[in-house]
Every structure is written in C-alpha cells, then in structure tokens.
Amino acid sequence: MRTILVANPKGGSGKTTLATNLAGWLAGKRQRVGLKDADPQASSTQWLARRPALFPSVAGFGGDVGKKELRDVALEWLVVDSPAGLHGEALRDSIKRADALVVPVTPSAFDMAATARFLQVIAEHKAVRHGELPIALVAMRVDARTRSAAELDDFLGQFDLPLLTHLRDTQVYVYCARDGLSVFDLPRSRGEQDQEQWKPLTRWLARHAAVRNP
C-alpha cells in the first residue's frame, strides 16, 4: 500500500479538496483506494457519505484506523486528509508512514506564514533530510489575475521543492464537495479545464509512487 499524505498545519488551506480529488482520481484508475479522514471536522467523511454509489469506489477510514484493518482490506493506495495543527509525534508518525507528501497553499498571508514554519519543521525529519520522502507544493484557489497569486508564486519560489500546479478558484470544487464527486468524475465538457490543471500533480505522483494504468 502506498500512502499519500496531504498536510498543512493551517486550517482552510485546501487539504480536503486535494485529498478527495486525489482519491477520486485513483478510484477512476481502478485502484483500490482508501481515504483516511484524520481531521476532526470530518469533511472527507462527509464527502464520502455523499458520493454516488455508481461512481468509482473509495473506502473511508477514521483517523484512528489501525494497520491491521488497512491490511485486511488490501488497499493499493491510502490518501490521508490530515488535521489542522498537525505537529509533534503525530506529524513524525504521519511522515514516517507516507510515501509522498503534498502540501497545499492558498494565496493568503496567514497560509504562507504557516507553510513556511511547517516546511522548516519537516526539514528536520530524517526521511526529509535524506531525500527519502518526495514532497511537492500545490497552489490552491488561485486567480492568476490577482496580485496575491503573484505574491504566492514569489513565496513558494524560495523553497527547494517543486511547485507542481495552480488550481483555480472555481465553484466547480464547491459543487464536487457538495455532491461527493471529484473533478475526474465530471463529464469532459464540465471538468476539462480543471482536469488539465491536475495533470502535473498526477504525473508527479505517477513518477514517485508508481501509479499503474488500468
């Protein structure tokens, strides 16, 4: 089982949007995928409850799920929607279990400050120091026409980490959250622009975590 950790200590940074859409992408590739909701707000769990039964299946797990339970269901992938404020022993354990880490960041001064501190903290972890854990950044809810978008790019450019893509600020994600869908579940006529924005991220995961085609 390969584990994708979606983490940023700042609430509202887009973790659930990333996690649910990654799970939807993997499910659409006929992978056996689980979505672990470690956030007390349980937004990913609510998304799963709204997911239509005929759509590609995603198994749901709470934050306290054990290793044996995960092994018993023979998952190929686990996407972890981590809680806000992840730190200390919980952060160390999450990093230790992860095969890839994706860090969402919005064009907000508060998010950028929290992200800078987070990246400084995780840089001290052994797997990160030794380059054993692939880490990537994703800009969330971006309007390319705004000054804040340019400021976000300038901020993220200071880190020696790939900024994979910019996901636009659109109601499409609001509707997907409401209906238990991912952008990959949408008809091409509705989802093409957003699916294109995801390609750098899905290709990065394919290189670093060996996603196989159906």
- All residues at 6 or more sequence positions from 75 whose CB lies less than 8 Å from its CB, including other chains: 1, 32, 33, 34, 59
Residue 212 is assigned to a structural domain of this protein: no
Domain span including residue 44: 2-207
Beta strands across the sheet bearing 33-37:
59-62, 33-37, 77-81, 2-6, 100-105, 135-142, 163-168
Q: What is the CATH number of the domain that holds 139?
A: 3.40.50.300
Q: What is the pLDDT of residue 212?
A: 44
Domain assignment of residue 214, yes or no:
no
Q: How confident is the model at residue 9 (pLDDT cuts 50, 70, 90)?
A: confident
Q: State residue 73's pLDDT score.
A: 87
- Give pTM, 2 decimals: 0.93
> Is 94 within a domain?
yes
Domain-located, residue 213: no
| pLDDT band (50, 70, 90) for residue 210 | low
At residue 11 the predicted structure's pLDDT band, cuts being 50, 70 and 90, is: confident
Residue type, 2: R
Q: Give the chain's domain count.
A: 1
pLDDT at 213: 43
- What does the pLDDT look like over 22-80, one tens digit per residue? 999 999 999 999 999 999 999 999 999 999 999 999 999 998 888 888 888 889 999 99
Is there a contact between 214 and 30 (Cβ–Cβ < 8 Å)? yes
Euclidean distance between the first and the last CA atom of the chain, given in angstroms as a whole number: 17
Residue 168 lies in a domain: yes
Q: What is the pLDDT of residue 199?
A: 96
Mean pLDDT value of segment 3-11: 93
